[in-house]
Amino acid sequence: MRIQRTFILGAAAAMLAAGCAYTAPYESSGPALSEQGIQVGIAGIRCYVNRESDPMIETGSNDDQVGLDVKLQVDNQSNQVAELEEGHLRLADADLPGAKAAPPRRSNVVTVLPGESKQVRLAFIPEGASDCRHNFALELADSVDVDGSPIPMSPIMFEPKR
């Protein structure tokens, strides 16, 4: 009986983890590539809506807000050190042009050495979005520096779910 209960709990945990896992975006403009050889792409996305359905529980300010976790793949094919400044990234909702672009919830600087690849996980709460079926733009503008100088990077357009 104990083995069966352990198996059921393990299977339930695996299903829950699979439901919350990062997935590829439904559509994407592809990775952004600089002239210097720095490439930033979306390796995975996890989009969810915080909805409270129990009327007996007091709702909070985050109810009905979309949360978007983005896993970036940063490849440095240059011969110089690159730095990704997470605080300079912005997530804009392309379906709601008047909405303010959201910064990531945390802000670190990630160093990527020549020839190195790194994955970076970021969490966003985009303003105005009510579900995951929106077109978003990950604005990279001045988020990547090579040897201390910002380099131009085009935004990555994507839709998390169909």
Mapping DSSP onto H, E and C, the string for 54-105 reads CCCCCCCCCCCEEEEEEEEEEEECCCCCEEEEHHHCEEEECCCCCCCCECCC
Q: 85: domain range?
A: 22-52+62-159
Judge whether 73 and 43 are in contact, CB under 8 Å. Answer: yes
**Structural domains of the chain, count:** 1
Res. 101: pLDDT tops 90: yes
Indicate the pTM of the whole model.
Answer: 0.78
What are 115-158's pLDDT values in tens digits? 999 999 999 998 888 888 889 999 998 999 998 899 999 999 99
CATH number at residue 111: 2.60.40
Res. 23: pLDDT tops 70: yes
29 in a structural domain? yes
12 in a structural domain? no
